[in-house]
Each structure stands twice: as structure tokens, then as C-alpha cells.
Amino acid sequence: MRISLTQRCNFDCIYCHHEGEGGFSGELSFEEVERILSMAKKLGINKLKLTGGEPLLRRDLPEIVQMSKKYVNEVSVTTNGTLMKRSAGMLRDAGLDRANISLDSLRGDRFRAITSGDLRKAVDGLNAAISEGINPIKLNMVILKGINEDEVFDMVKFSFEHSCILQLIELETTRNGEKGEFYRKYHYDFDGLEKLLEDKAERVVTRAMHHRKKYFFDGAEVEVVRPMHNTEFCRNCTRVRVTSSGEIKPCLLDDKTFRLPKDDEAYAVFKRAIESKKPYWG
């Protein structure tokens, strides 16, 4: 389960999909997060990813991580990393199991153009997380045609040097979004890249989640997240999302959401939301 803790963010990434939310509509309280997790446990959910916006903007994030460990086996966070310097130690002590840190370029000018953020602060945050012993760490790189596709193997080297897993992510959008100028301009076809990775790989592993491919070579570990028109990806997706306003969203790209009532009927609605999940690309 992915819970979006906030829509607030200190970045303004050009590709951001806002976790499928239309705009700011409030934030879950600590108590609301715990209520959702208590139901999730009964439904057999055992992994949690805390997202945003930028979840580290929530000052109560360490407390949320610590509380979450009562309900799930694994807690991770997805972050741009720029606030990790102040938070990494507290998150580790709270029981954070792993982290995904977005890093779309190793060039400061490109990084700022993509995210509006400061590359130096992101790398400082990554180094802080490593120093505090958060492990494993995945580096998330969204590949954008004409912007950063030439940096893939620089990022492979950087990830290996920092003992991180590199996650190469395809730009994704809805069926209607495919017709838009942004997607047509920046979507990068992964066919050639995956062939190159496969040729270099000493070993290729297919994960159960989404049937994603993981490539191992020269000590590096590279995972490819390729959702667009990928029926295998959708058919093997076992995720459910919770928006920052507390609605259950079975699929990122589907507009359908389920609002949880405040009474005892909430569990039945949560269960119905999960049962309604179906492949977007299928």
C-alpha cells in the first residue's frame, strides 16, 4: 500500500503525476493514517510506502513510521532526498526499512530544469541516508527523451559507487494523456535500452511485482519500471493507493476512488476497493 501523506512539495518536477490526485485537498492526520493501517492489516497488506508530494515535509513522519511498524512488516519512503540530512537518523531510529530517492540527473543544470531543485542538496541527503545506515536505497530516475537519456550509464556507475539500486522509470500517463504534447515530446522508448542492458547483464531476474526486470552487471543492480501498455506489469500489480485526503485509489491511472466512511462500514468499503482493482492496460 502507498499512502500519500501530503501534496505539499519543495520540488516542482515537470513529469509529476501527483499520485493521481487532482490538487491539494487536505492531509491525513496521524490518527487517520493509523485507522487505515489497522484495516489494511486485517486485509493482509504487509508492505507500506509513504509518499507525497514530499513526505519529509511532514514533521511527524518519524512518528508515523514508528507507528506503522505495528501493522506492516516493511515501511519505506519515497523522497527527493533534500530533507534527508535532518531526517535520516530519526527515520532509521523509527524503524524505516528502505528508501527511494529521486535523482533524475547528475548535472546540476539539468536537475534544476527537471525538478526546480538543488542537486547538491539531493546528493547530500542521499549521503546522509547512507551514513545513517538506511539500506537498501533505490535511486529513481525518470527517463526523459532529449533531456537525460544520455546519462543512464553515468547513473549506473554513480549508483554502484554509492551501493544503491538504480531504478529506471518510464514516463507514464493516462490513455488521454498520450495525446498530449508533453508526453509525445518526452516519452522515451525503452526497447533499445533494455536490449543494451540485457546484452551487458551477467544475470537477469524477473520480480513478482509487476514482472519487472532486474539487470545485474559489474556489481551494479538496475531495475526497469516500464508500465505503459504493459499488460504484464498491470496484471502483476498488487498495490493499492491511499490519497492524502484518505480516499482509496486502486490504480494510479484510473480515476475511480473510494471514500472511507467514518463508521464501521469503512472496512467493507476498503475491501470493496481492493476487489475492484483491475489492470489499466489489459
> Strand 213-217 to strand 203-206: parallel, antiparallel, or no bridges (unpaired)?
antiparallel
Q: Which residues does residue 139 pair with via DSSP β-bridges, in sequence order?
A: 101, 166
Q: How many CB atoms lie within 10 A of CB 232?
A: 15
CB proximity list for 100: less than 8 A, separation 6 or greater: 49, 76, 77, 78, 79, 137, 138, 139, 140, 167
C-alpha cell at 122: 539531493
Question: What is the average pLDDT value for the chain, to the nearest integer?
Answer: 96
Query: What is the DSSP track for 56-97?
Result: GG-TTHHHHHHHHTTT-SEEEEEE-STTHHHHHHHHHHHT--
Domains of the chain: 2-138+149-165+237-275 (3.20.20.70)
Q: Which amino acid is at 194?
A: E
The predicted structure's pLDDT at residue 24: 66
The predicted structure's pLDDT at residue 26: 82
Query: How sure is the predictor about 254, in pLDDT bands with cuts at 50, 70 and 90?
Result: very high
Assess contact for 27 and 244: CB atoms under 8 A: yes
The predicted structure's pLDDT at residue 20: 84
pLDDT of 23 above 70:
no
The predicted structure's pLDDT at residue 209: 87
pLDDT tens column, 130-161: 999 999 999 999 999 999 999 999 999 999 99
Can you say how many angstroms the Cα of residue 225 is from the centroid of all Cα atoms in its chain? Answer: 11
CB proximity list for 34: less than 8 A, separation 6 or greater: 67, 71
Assess contact for 155 and 106: CB atoms under 8 A: yes
pLDDT tens column, 191-211: 999 999 999 999 999 999 899
> Strand 165-170 to strand 220-225: parallel, antiparallel, or no bridges (unpaired)?
parallel
pLDDT of 41 above 90:
yes
pTM to 2 decimals? 0.95
pLDDT tens column, 97-124: 999 999 999 999 999 999 999 999 999 9
Q: Which residues does residue 141 pair with via DSSP β-bridges, in sequence order?
A: 168
**What is the percent of the chain where pLDDT is above 90?**
95
What average pLDDT score do residues 24-34 get? 90
C-alpha cell at 39: 484495516
The predicted structure's pLDDT at residue 265: 96
SS3 state at 15: coil
Q: How far apart are the first and last CA of the chain?
A: 22
pLDDT of 74 above 80:
yes
The predicted structure's pLDDT at residue 282: 87
